[in-house]
Amino acid sequence: MTTLINGDMLIGQTAVHGTATPFHAINPASGATIEPSFGTGTLADVQQACALAEQAFDVYRDTSLEERAAFLEQIAQNIVDIGPALIERAMQESGLPQARLEGERGRTVGQLRLFAKVIRDGNWLATALDSALPDRAPPRPDLRLRKIALGPVVVFGASNFPLAFSVAGGDTASALAAGCPVIVKAHGAHPGTSELVAKAVQAAVASCKLPEGVFSMLHGDGRTIGQALVTHPAIKAVGFTGSRQGGLALVRSAAQRDEPIPVYAEMSSINPMFLLPDAMAQGAAKIGSGFIDSLTMGAGQFCTNPGLVIAIDGTDLDTFCDAAVTALQGKAASTMLTPGIHAAFNDGVSRLAGASGVALLARGQTGASASAGQAGLFVTDAATFLENPALEEEIFGASSLVIKCRDIAQFKEIAEYLDGQLTATLFLTENDKTAAQALLPTLERKVGRILVNNYPTGVEVSHAMVHGGPFPATSDSRGTSVGASAIERFLRPVSYQDLPAWLLPTALQDNNPLNLWRLRDGALMQA
């Protein structure tokens, strides 16, 4: 694979140097610009990418399961084949360390391969066959259902995972798996990384002999290019990971189209951790130091970063806080993703530090990097938290707030008060059973993933993962943006009534040529 970065967009198989506002990537550690210059797209570029995607759709969605799976595997291989140049560029653009980015590349590639397996399994087709009952009055027709792809999808790359939630990340992989052409609006913080990965996808489109419109990547800002993409009639769904403000703008635009379309925006979450009394009695210090590891991982720039800790006031909480403070004071500052994110983090921490009833527990170390994020840990009490909605706002980065509760009853009160979240965590032992069982129904209503005795920053890519949750964690709690079920966001059902065999899709043929699990007259079977 090429390691050359030309500053281009990719529109189908064509490299296009954008003619609108030029820009450079910025190294957040030094503040220096990184060559080359990138050009941003025009509305004509949007039109061209959308027209190609629309043209490609019927051909692409009609590829066999095997062809589409092989395409995703080829993308994965092409990303691997870029080699160290990809990691080096991503390090420069994101300030993230090498080991983290190598791990993220593994995750990205593994995710593409998981979706190749998901495609081949074909469970996402949700096939159902109801036999004709010609002698019933009235006769029942032969009915067969499968899911098909929604149409071309726009994906907005995220800043915080320049590989796993970006050009060939989970949204792109799941949309391509479903049979949707994808147009990526690259994140401005890592345009070079985006170009390298986009070329890997583009090369896979070519070598798999797919229509070129299956994939394009554009540069440009959200307000012009992003909005133009989301409001283009050819686009049928949107995937987004980023700020609440950015996500909501897309949600509103999509809802105001002549034809409203779904937007899957993963936006904001503070990921509460509830520390139950016996778990604290057994190991408050260990929970506290582990918490700081989770809080400061990746400079705190995880969607599932633990931004809220709920515990009962007392000596166990003091022990937890002492351990956390000690651990935090030893943590080196990490370079944040962009100077803008760093500035917003500092603003957020300042606001929190100045809020009435909130006290500073500790800060992490300062650092020499231009965008060094100095972690922060704060404390307040339940009454203060419940009275000030600003304390629930996400501060993107390594900042967390401990809430001292009077008693366990306040845990439920806080859980009910909270907005929707990606995750909630319970630290517990079996002696905390009553409290945990009382909290669980509330947490189920509020979050997409409930964890016990671990930290939320790990997000496994597997079948049972949910990286989603009620608003404002996401704009659509019916989906997940990580894990095999992410494909379901880009599908819709079609029913076929009395079609002759020569017109029926392969997945619905009598003899089950794809060896799918199918619902036959209400019973699941592979026969």
Active site residues: 266, 303
Instruction: Please say whether the dihedral angle defined by the alpha carbons of residues 204, 482, 85 and 53, taken in this order, is positive or negative.
Output: positive
- Tell me the per-residue interface mask from 410 to 439 with a copy of itself, x by CB under 8 A, - otherwise: ----------x-------x-x--x--xx--
Of 80-88, 257-265, 339-347, 350-358, the window that binds a copy of itself (rule: CB under 8 A) is 257-265
By C-alpha distance, which of 180, 171, 146, 156 is closest to 56? 180
* 434 close to 282: Cβ distance less than 8 angstroms: no
Residues 185-214 that bind a copy of itself (CB under 8 A): none
Least distance CB 341 / a copy of itself (angstroms): 26
Instruction: Please say whether the dihedral angle defined by the alpha carbons of residues 300, 306, 312 and 317, taken in this order, is positive or negative.
Output: negative
Looking only at the bridges linking them, the beta strands covering 33-40 and 20-26 are antiparallel
Of the pair 79, 484, the CB lying nearest a copy of itself is at 484
The binder of a copy of itself chosen from 19, 64, 318, 492 (CB under 8 A):
492
What six digits make up the tokens of 149? 């792809």
- Tell me the per-residue interface mask from 83 to 122 with a copy of itself, x by CB under 8 A, - otherwise: ----------------------------------x---x-
Q: What DSSP designation does 360 have?
A: E
Looking only at the bridges linking them, the beta strands covering 182-185 and 153-156 are parallel
Rounded CA-CA distance 512/490 in Å is 24
The reply on whether position 510 binds a copy of itself by CB under 8 A is no
The binder of a copy of itself chosen from 238, 309, 466, 507 (CB under 8 A):
466
- Tell me the per-residue interface mask from 52 to 81 with a copy of itself, x by CB under 8 A, - otherwise: -----xx---x-------------------
Distances (CA, A) of 157 to 18, 160, 375: 18, 9, 25
Least distance CB 93 / a copy of itself (angstroms): 25
By C-alpha distance, which of 197, 265, 313 is closest to 472? 265
Of the pair 327, 428, the CB lying nearest a copy of itself is at 428
Rounded CA-CA distance 489/261 in Å is 12
The reply on whether position 145 binds a copy of itself by CB under 8 A is yes
The reply on whether position 448 binds a copy of itself by CB under 8 A is yes
Rounded CA-CA distance 279/296 in Å is 22
Least distance CB 220 / a copy of itself (angstroms): 25
Please report, for the chain, how many H helices and E strands are present, in that order: 14, 23
Least distance CB 475 / a copy of itself (angstroms): 6
**How many amino acids of this chain bind a copy of itself (CB under 8 A)?**
81
The reply on whether position 138 binds a copy of itself by CB under 8 A is yes
Residues 259-278 that bind a copy of itself (CB under 8 A): 259-260, 262
Give alpha helix (H) positions in 62-154: 65-82, 84-94, 98-121
The binder of a copy of itself chosen from 99, 368, 503, 527 (CB under 8 A):
503
Using the structure block, give the residue that is written with the tokens 């593409």. Answer: 112
The reply on whether position 475 binds a copy of itself by CB under 8 A is yes
Rounded CA-CA distance 479/7 in Å is 34
The reply on whether position 357 binds a copy of itself by CB under 8 A is no
The binder of a copy of itself chosen from 140, 330, 359, 387 (CB under 8 A):
140
DSSP strands (E only) in 198-275: 215-218, 237-241, 263-266, 272-275
Least distance CB 205 / a copy of itself (angstroms): 20
The binder of a copy of itself chosen from 129, 275, 391, 398 (CB under 8 A):
129
The reply on whether position 465 binds a copy of itself by CB under 8 A is yes
